[in-house]
Structure 1
Amino acid sequence: MMKKKIGILGASGYTGADAVRLLARHPNAEITALTANTHAGKAMSEVFPHFFMLHLPKLVEWEKVDWTRLDAVFCGLPHGTTQEIIAAVLKTNPGIKILDMSADFRLRDKDSYAQWYGHEHRALELQDEAVYGLTELYREKVTAARLVACPGCYPTAVLLALVPLAKAKLIDVDDIIIDAKSGVTGAGRGLKQNTLFSEAGEGLSPYSIGSHRHSAEIEQEIGAAAGSAVTVNFTPHLIPMARGEFCTSYVRLNGATPDDLRAELERAYANEPFVYVTKKGVLPQTQNVRGSNYVQIGVVADRIKNRAIVLSTLDNLVKGSAGQAIQNMNLMFGLPETTGLEQIALFP
């Protein structure tokens, strides 16, 4: 197969950079366009020095890219700016494959989008065709899609842990508490006071309590699995490490045992290349998945009767973003799903 020509919108952000890192060694991909309006004219290695050994195209404004020459584009732009740009790209090249790593096409309900993101959706005709790109849940739809809305990092970790349990009705979906922690790359690369080393280091900070936008994705997908509207208790925290994510979900059992939950997860992911359920007594850890596209899920019995604790961890920039996008790209082009994504975690 000839190499697919790939463009990356927003290549100067962390998710864009990790897409470059992974695609640079993908045997079926050739990076031919990189955009970053604020860094236009620079070499990628000026913005991210760890790419010093790669021969990459210079960063340009997105308007200057010839989209007709590309097979796929990864979008790492902030929410709100993505919709109109993707609409323009698709108008220029209707056959291009879009892997959107922003939040702009994840929510199926337009009113829900407006509620959580503060403005009306600006590309409703595309929102209707977008496929939610949690690969393990929507593999067949992703394979046939033109536009894939890759999930947020928190929803990926939470949904992989809880959707099979909700679908099997082993847990009470009206009583879910999620304690989530993410490395500071989840806050983006922009200069913010709360991510300065002297303020984020040696500390742990909650944020967006009761109002984090990823709640909408989690509720949308658990609700779809359960067949009813769902509201979850979701609290994210910023933890002083560059990358990584850990979600601890507290659930009430529906006549099941913690061993039943583990068995159902093992059944659901028995043939999945990137999702691993730990054995009883073995706990997931962020260091086990750092830099990789793998997910670890574990189940522990709670001391409180009829409750269990479900643990899930991933790298927020890989399976939580760029890696999952590449996993979806592989499906869209008929490639083996694991192509370019079998890196072992970087440890220690």
Structure 2
Amino acid sequence: MKISIVGATGYAGAELLRLLASHQVAEVKYITSESQPGTAIADIYPHLTRFYPQTLTSLVDLEKLAAESDVIFIGLPHGHAMEVGRKATAINPTIKIIDLGADYRFKNHAVYEEWYKVPHTHREAKTVYGLTELNRSQVREAGIVGNPGCYTTASILALAPLVKNKLVDLTTIIIDAKSGVTGAGRGLNLGSHFSEVFESVKAYNVGGHRHTPEIEEVLGGLAGEELTINFTPHLIPMPRGILSTCYANLKAGVTPEMIDEAYTSQYGNEYFVRLLGRGGYPVTKNTRSSNFCDLGWHIDKRTKRVIAISAIDNLVKGAAGQAIQNMNVMFNIDEKTGLDNAPVYP
């Protein structure tokens, strides 16, 4: 497969390149950057030396890039991917688009515009939300996939069995999630400087994080009704990883065994979801640099709540790895191709 990466210099773009280097049937054709065209990618990311001799190009020649690619990964800020997708699919109707940003994640474009403050310019696109474990059959037929966000992936995978099987009160869902600093991106920002982050933990965007409506839309679709959640993200002084701890009140009559069955039924055959079971404690270090999501759940009999916990690597299962997993499904090849690696430990 001929692959191009539009916006390759961010952390997710670099992670795509790292993972694709060991993908048996993928050839990276073009990599683009509007900020550093003409620069060798290995000069920006020396760890890619010997794997990629390419020089970054500009997106000016989109026609050539689209015509010569089977799939385009887009790693651009929100508001830009839909223009690339619209033009690329017009040039090459058979091309596959996988957007790692937010432009193609929402079914409700008005919600996207409200939270991201830009108009949606590709409303006619037929898109699929690329959480493979939930939407595999749709992803297989998709031309454009909106790759989920990192907090979103961890939280939805943790809550989906509970919501889908109507085991919890939908008005009581609370998500408390922590992310490594790479989730803030590679751009210079005072809040992610070493001296600001080291030996400190902070909450941010309380009540207003843009992954909130994404989680609500997907969980609402599983529940068959709209829902509202409390989602609070935190920044943790580590490079990678997300730990999402999710709370909800159990409905009357729901037993621990029913909770166990819901998770086993949903994920028992999913390779990239590792069920630690009732009483399990996912750890971010155990998923580092891998496409795995570790899940555990607890029943608090005293408060009649279920607490579901998930751990992922925000750059892999929360971004680049999930994008490659979606690509594999879209091209009907083994879903594990290029991703079947043990986590890095310690």
Q: What is the TM-score normalised by the length of structure 2?
A: 0.97
- Superposed CA offset, 1:181-218 (max 9, x none): 11111111000000000101111111111011101111
- Superposed CA offset, 1:62-94 (max 9, x none): 123522011101111111121112212222212
Q: Which amino acid aligns with 1:95?
A: T
What is the aligned counterpart of 2:240 among 243, 246, 263? Answer: 243
Provide the rounded CA distance (Å) in 2 between the counterparts of 1:273 and 1:41. Answer: 40
Q: Which amino acid aligns with 1:193?
A: L
Contact preservation (8 Å) 1:262, 1:277 = no
**Alignment of structure 1 residues 14-53 onto 2, 5 Å:** 14-53=11-50
Provide the rounded CA distance (Å) in 1 between the counterparts of 2:167 and 2:67. Answer: 49
- Superposed CA offset, 1:294-331 (max 9, x none): 00110112263311211011000101011011001001
Shift in Å, 1:95: 1.1
Provide the rounded CA distance (Å) in 2 between the counterparts of 1:131 and 1:112. Answer: 16
> How many aligned residue pairs are there?
343
Worse overlay, 243-252 or 298-307: 298-307
Paired residue for 1:209? 206
Worse overlay, 58-67 or 156-165: 58-67
Q: Which amino acid aligns with 1:204?
A: V
Shift in Å, 1:289: 0.4
Contact preservation (8 Å) 2:280, 2:295 = no
Paired residue for 1:323? 321
1:64 aligned onto 2:61: yes
**Alignment of structure 1 residues 28-177 onto 2, 5 Å:** 28-65=25-62, 66=64, 67-126=66-125, 129-177=126-174
Q: Which amino acid aligns with 1:107?
A: F
Q: Which amino acid aligns with 1:106?
A: R
Paired residue for 1:228? 225
Unaligned runs of 5+ in 2: none
Q: Which amino acid aligns with 2:281?
A: L
Provide the rounded CA distance (Å) in 2 between the counterparts of 1:130 and 1:58. Answer: 31
* 2:173 counterpart SS class: strand
Provide the rounded CA distance (Å) in 1 between the counterparts of 2:39 and 2:137. Answer: 39
Paired residue for 1:339? 337
What is the aligned counterpart of 2:197 among 186, 200, 224? Answer: 200
Q: Which amino acid aligns with 1:111?
A: A
Shift in Å, 1:259: 4.0
Provide the rounded CA distance (Å) in 1 between the counterparts of 2:26 and 2:314. Answer: 22
Contact preservation (8 Å) 1:257, 1:306 = no
Paired residue for 2:289? 291
Worse overlay, 47-56 or 17-26: 47-56
Q: What is the TM-score normalised by the length of structure 1?
A: 0.96
Provide the rounded CA distance (Å) in 2 between the counterparts of 1:163 and 1:290. Answer: 23
1:312 aligned onto 2:315: no
1:276 aligned onto 2:286: no
Provide the rounded CA distance (Å) in 2 between the counterparts of 1:117 and 1:224. Answer: 21
Q: Which amino acid aligns with 1:217?
A: E
Shift in Å, 1:120: 1.8
Q: Which amino acid aligns with 1:184?
A: V
* 2:169 counterpart SS class: strand
Provide the rounded CA distance (Å) in 2 between the counterparts of 1:281 and 1:112. Answer: 37
Contact preservation (8 Å) 1:262, 1:298 = no
- Superposed CA offset, 1:31-65 (max 9, x none): 11000111100111111111112133210111235
Contact preservation (8 Å) 1:285, 1:313 = yes
Provide the rounded CA distance (Å) in 2 between the counterparts of 1:247 and 1:262. Answer: 19
Contact preservation (8 Å) 2:155, 2:246 = yes
Provide the rounded CA distance (Å) in 1 between the counterparts of 2:41 and 2:47. Answer: 9
Shift in Å, 1:280: 3.3
Q: Which amino acid aligns with 1:249?
A: C
Provide the rounded CA distance (Å) in 2 between the counterparts of 1:213 and 1:302. Answer: 30
Provide the rounded CA distance (Å) in 1 between the counterparts of 2:180 and 2:322. Answer: 18
- Superposed CA offset, 1:229-249 (max 9, x none): 100000001111111000000
* 1:234 counterpart SS class: strand
Provide the rounded CA distance (Å) in 1 between the counterparts of 2:197 and 2:166. Answer: 39
**Cα 1:31–1:56 shift into 2, 3 Å:** farther
* 1:124 counterpart SS class: coil
Contact preservation (8 Å) 1:90, 1:96 = yes
Provide the rounded CA distance (Å) in 2 between the counterparts of 1:275 and 1:24. Answer: 23
* 1:242 counterpart SS class: coil
* 1:45 counterpart SS class: helix
**Cα 1:259–1:287 shift into 2, 3 Å:** farther
Paired residue for 2:263? 265
* 2:153 counterpart SS class: helix
